[in-house]
Amino acid sequence: MGSREPAVGVLGEDGLVRLAVVIVTALLLTGCTGSDSSSRADPTPLLHSPTPTTNETVSPPPKPPKPPPSNACYRLGYDEALAPTHDKKPVPCSGVHTAVTYFVGSFDKSLAVDGNQVHGLESTVCPRRFATYVGGTVDDRRLSMLRAVWFTPTVDQAARGGHWFECVAIALRGDQSLALLRGPLQGVLDRTDGRDHYALCGTAEPGSAGFEQRICAAPHSWEALRTVGFPPGKYPGEATVRSAGQQPCQDAGSSVAADPLSYRWSYQWPDLRQWRDGQTYGVCWAPS
C-alpha cells in the first residue's frame, strides 16, 4: 500500500502528459496497421477455408427394388419366358395373358444372383411348387403343355438389394410359342376340362417330318396317351429305353382304337440330352 503513493508523486503532471502521448501514439500505430492491412489481399482465406453455407442436400441411398407381386399375370413371349430376367409389367388376369406368378421366394443376400447356388434353389423350389399349384398326377403334368419357368432380379437390381426369385407358370402352344391362358391355373389339372385343354398333342406322327408338339386345344392329329417312366440316375442307354416302351405303348394304342385288330401307335423315348435335362420317361402316342 505505501509503495503506490510515491509513484504518483514522481510521475507528476509532466509524466501524465508523457503517458498520454505514449498511449495516443500506440493508438495511432494500431490504426495505421489496420488501415494498411485493409489495402492488401487478406491472406486468411488461403490458410482456412470458410464453412460452406450452400443449400445443397445429400440424396438418400436408393431403395431396394420391390419383389414382384404374387399371383401376377404377364403377357410374355416365348423368348422372354426362357430369359433369366424380365421387365414386364403385370396385366389384369381377367384379360389376355400368357404367364402367371405362382410363388415368390428369396435367397440370401450374400449369394451371387447369377451363381450356381441361386440357380439350384430356384430350379428345385419352382418345380416342386408347380406340382402343388397346377395339381394332377405326375402323369397328368408330364402329359400336359404346362411348364414352370423362373426369374431372378438383374445384376443391377441385386446390387441394390433385390434378393428374390419368381416362379411362373406358362403353357406351350407349340415348340416355340406360348398359349393364352384360360381361367385360373391353380388346380387346373385336377379337372377333366383342364387336362383336356392343356394336354400334349402333335401335328403328325412322332418322328415324322411334319411332327410338332402342340397343345390339344389347337388343331392336331395325334395325342399323347401315357408315359413310360424310368428310375432317375445314369442314362440306361438308348437300347434299354427304346425297348422298354414297346409293349406299354402298343397296349395304350389298342385301348383307344376303334378296331382292335387294326390300329397305329408310336413311342418317343428320351435321348441322352433329354435325360440330362430331366426327362426320365418316354411317351406313348396314338392318332386322335
DSSP string computed for 11-24 = HHHHHHHHHHHHHH
pLDDT by 10-residue block (mean), the chain, 288 residues: 41 39 36 40 42 59 85 97 96 96 96 96 97 97 98 95 97 96 96 97 95 97 98 96 97 93 95 95 97
Domain map (residue ranges) of the chain: 65-190
> Residue type at 276?
R
Predicted local distance difference test score (pLDDT) of residue 55 = 61
Please give the distance of CA 40 from its chain centroid, rounded to a whole number. 66
Predicted local distance difference test score (pLDDT) of residue 27 = 35
Whose cell is 428310375? That residue is 231
Predicted local distance difference test score (pLDDT) of residue 64 = 84
**Residue 171 in 3-state DSSP?**
strand
Longest dimension (CA), the chain: 154
How many CA atoms, within 13 angstroms, populate the side-chain half-sphere of residue 85?
A: 14
Phi, psi (deg, nearest 5) at residue 103: -165, 140
Predicted local distance difference test score (pLDDT) of residue 260 = 83
Residues counted in the chain? 288
Closest C-alpha to 169, from 88, 81, 77, 79: 81
Predicted local distance difference test score (pLDDT) of residue 57 = 65
Predicted local distance difference test score (pLDDT) of residue 54 = 54
The Cα 32–Cα 25 span in angstroms is 11
pTM score over 0.75: yes
